[in-house]
Amino acid sequence: MEPPYTQRSGVPLQTRPVLSPFNPSALQSLNSILPPKKNGLTINIHDHYASKRYRPGSIVMGTVNIKPKKQIPFTKISIKFVCDSSVERPNANLSFETWHRLLDLEMPIEEAALPANKALQANETYTVPFYFVLPNGLGTEACSHNVIWQETRQLHSHLPPSIAGWEGDAMIPRGVRVDYGVIAQVWDSANPEYAKMEAKETVQFLPGHVEHPPLKIPTANRTFKFASTKQLKSSVFCRSSGEVTLYTDQPTAIILDSSGKGIHPTTITTSLRLKLSDSKTSLPQTCNVSAKIESETWSQDEPMQQLPHIVNARDCYNGSETLVKKAEVGLSWEKNSPKQRDSVVTETAETFSSHIEIPITSFASDKKMFLPTFYSCLIARTYQLHLTINVASTTLKLVLPVQLTMEEQKGDSQPDAEDIGLPESSARCSSSLPSYIESERRHSQPEQ
C-alpha cells in the first residue's frame, strides 16, 4: 500500500480555552496545556516569504532542523502540512474556541534519517527534508457532521483560503481564523498527549478557480432583491405617469486576480421595464448606476448545516467597497407588444424595455484584501452586490448574491527528487502527492 500522504487522523471538532496574558489566573490553571517551546526545533521552507501566495498544486518543501539542548528520547517525529479553522467565543472570564482540523497531510520519514536508539543527542543537529504538493480539495471526512442540504457538504469539501495574516484588510472579525502551515513535532510515549518539541511555520493559501452553481433561494428569503418597481412621478404631488421596474438574475462569478486585491473587468446585465400611462411622457435616454460589494463573514462555534446567507444566520461580520459610483449609462428602448388573450388586448398602457450593461472595470484596492467565496464547517465568506439605478428621478435598488472566485492558475513545476534531498524510496512516491479524493480512491481499491 502507498504511503499515507493524505491519511487523516479523524480529528473531530474540539473546544479548548484561549490563553490570554490579560488573564494570569487562567495561565496558571492551564499551565499543563501550554504549547511546548521550540527548544531547538526549526522549520525552513525553501523559497518562502511572508507575502507568497500558495495555490493548489503548489510545492511546499524544505527541511526540519532539530538541535536539542539536552538528550531527548522520542517515539516518533512527525512532519505535517495542515489547515486548521477556529472560532473564538467569550465565556465569562475565559474565552473558548471551537477548533477543527480540515487538512492533515503527513510526510513519511525514513528511519535512517533518525538515530536508531530513539534518542536525540544534545547539541547535535538532525536534518529531515519534507515535500508536500497542496491538494485541490478535501475529502468527505473533512465534513462529517449532519447537514440539511447535501449541497452544503459538497461546498464544505472545497479548500478555504487563509483568512488571517494578509498584508491588506481581509474584512475578518477578531477570533476567527483559517491557517495553513507546516507542523513538526517530537513525540514520546511517556507523554503521548502533548509533543515534547513543536514548531509551526504558516503559509498564505488561496484556493483554485471554482464556480458554484446558482443558489437555490427560498421564496421566504428577504435578504436578496432581484426586482424593484416604483411609480414614475415628476414630483411628490404629481399624479403617476407610469411605473418602472428594474430586474435581473443571479450574476456570474466575479474573478479575483492572484493577489486578491483586485478583480477582472466584468459586466453586470440588468433590465428596465417602463410602463407608461401617459403617452406624452418622454422616454429617459440615460440613467446613473452605482455598484457596491458587501462582504459577509459568517462564524459559528458549531457546524453549519445550511448555507448561512440563505437562512439569515446570526454572527455575521460585514465590510464593503464601492465598485462603481454614479456612472452614466445610455438607454436604448424597445416597445413591447401588448399582451393578448383570445385575440383581445388586455393591456392598454404602453410598455418599453431596455437592457443596462453595468461595466465594472479593473478594480484594485490598496487597503482591502478580497477573499474568494467559501463555505466551511465553522466559517463562511459570502458577498452581496448592491446595485442602485437612478432613472427619470426615480431610484431603484437591487441586492444580489454574487460569488468571488480566484482566477485560473498556472501549474507549479515540480523539481527533480535529487534537488530536494529526499531519500530515493520517498522520492519515488512523492513526485505527485494525491489529494484527499485521490487518496480515498486509491485506498478503497483492494490490494493486489
Interval 258-313: pLDDT, tens? 888 889 999 999 999 999 877 777 889 999 999 999 999 999 988 898 888 887 77
Instruction: Look at strands 126-133 and 59-66 and give their pairing.
Output: antiparallel
**CA-CA distance, 351 to 274, in Å (whole number)?**
5
pLDDT the model gives residue 337: 76
Q: Is the pLDDT of residue 344 over 80?
A: no
Task: Quote the pLDDT of residue 403.
Answer: 97
Average pLDDT over every residue of 134-157: 85
The domain spans of the chain are 14-208, 227-406
Straight-line distance from the first to the last Cα atom of the chain, in angstroms, rounded to the nearest whole number: 10
**440-445 contact pairs (CB < 8 A, 24+):** 440/139, 440/140, 442/2, 443/1, 443/2
Give phi and psi for 79, each to the nearest 5.
-130, 120
Higher pLDDT, 151 or 433: 151
3-state secondary structure 393-409: CEEEEEEEEECEEECCC
| pLDDT value, residue 58 | 95
Neighbours of 264 (CB within 10 A): 13
Q: Which of 24-28, 343-347, 430-434 comes out lowest in average pLDDT?
A: 430-434
Complete edge-to-edge strand list for the sheet that includes strand 41-45: 41-45, 59-66, 126-133
Interior CA angle at 221 toward 293 and 212, to 5°? 55
Pairwise pLDDT comparison (340 vs 446), residue with the higher score: 340
> What is the residue whose three cell numbers read 484584501?
369
Q: Using CA atoms, how far apart are residues 212 and 381, in angstroms rounded to an integer?
A: 13
Cβ within 8 Å of residue 220, ≥6 positions away: none
CA–CA distances in Å: residue 191 to residues 32, 186, 244, 311: 12, 11, 72, 45
Buried b (16+ CB within 10 A) or exposed e, 321-341: eebbeeeebebeeeeeeeeee
pLDDT at site 407: 93
DSSP β-bridge partners for residue 91: 94
**Residue 324 pLDDT > 80, yes or no?**
yes
Please say if the pLDDT value at position 430 is more than 90: no
Predicted confidence at residue 34, as pLDDT, reads 47
Position 7 pLDDT exceeds 50? no
Give the 3-state DSSP-derived string for 110-175, with helices as H, strands as E and coil as C: CHHHCCCCCEECCCCCEEEEEEEECCCECCHHHCCCCCCCHHHHHHHCECCCCCCCCCCECCCCCC
Between 12 and 15, the higher pLDDT residue: 15
18-22, 203-207, 299-303, 306-310: lowest mean pLDDT where?
18-22
Fold of 14-208: Immunoglobulin-like (2.60.40)
Residue 60 · residue 135 · CB < 8 Å: no
Please check the confidence at residue 437 and state whether its pLDDT lies above 50.
Answer: no
pLDDT in tens, 394-422: 999 999 999 999 998 765 544 444 444 44
- Residue 254 CA to residue 344 CA, distance in Å, equals 45
> Strands 254-256, 286-299: parallel, antiparallel or unpaired by DSSP?
unpaired
What pLDDT is attached to residue 258? 87
Q: For residues 41-51, give the mean pLDDT.
A: 94
Give the integer Cα–Cα distance in Å for 206 and 171: 16
Give the model's pLDDT for residue 282. Answer: 84
Residue 324 pairs in a beta bridge with 291
Average pLDDT over residues 159-180: 93
Q: What's the Rg (C-alpha) of the chain? A: 28
Residue 382's pLDDT is: 96
- Determine which of 186-195, 293-302, 389-398 has the lowest per-residue pLDDT on average: 186-195
Say if 14-208 and 227-406 have the same CATH topology.
yes
Phi, psi values for residue 436, rounded to 5°: -55, -50
The H or E element containing residue 254 is: strand 254-256
Please give the grid coordinates belonging to residue 326: 454614479
Helix (H, G, I), strand (E, B) or coil at 424: helix
Q: What is the mean pLDDT of the chain?
A: 81
Mean pLDDT to the nearest integer, 359-386:
90
Cα 138 to Cα 102: distance, rounded to the nearest angstrom: 8
Q: Architecture of domain 227-406 in CATH?
A: Sandwich (2.60)
Angle, vertex CA 253, rays to CA 269 and CA 359, nearest 5: 35
Distance CA 320, CA 295 (A): 6
**Mean pLDDT of the region 64-82:** 93
What is the residue whose three cell numbers read 483492494? 446
**Mean per-residue pLDDT for 326-338?**
88
Q: Which of 392, 383, 256, 389 is nearest to 325 (CA)?
A: 389
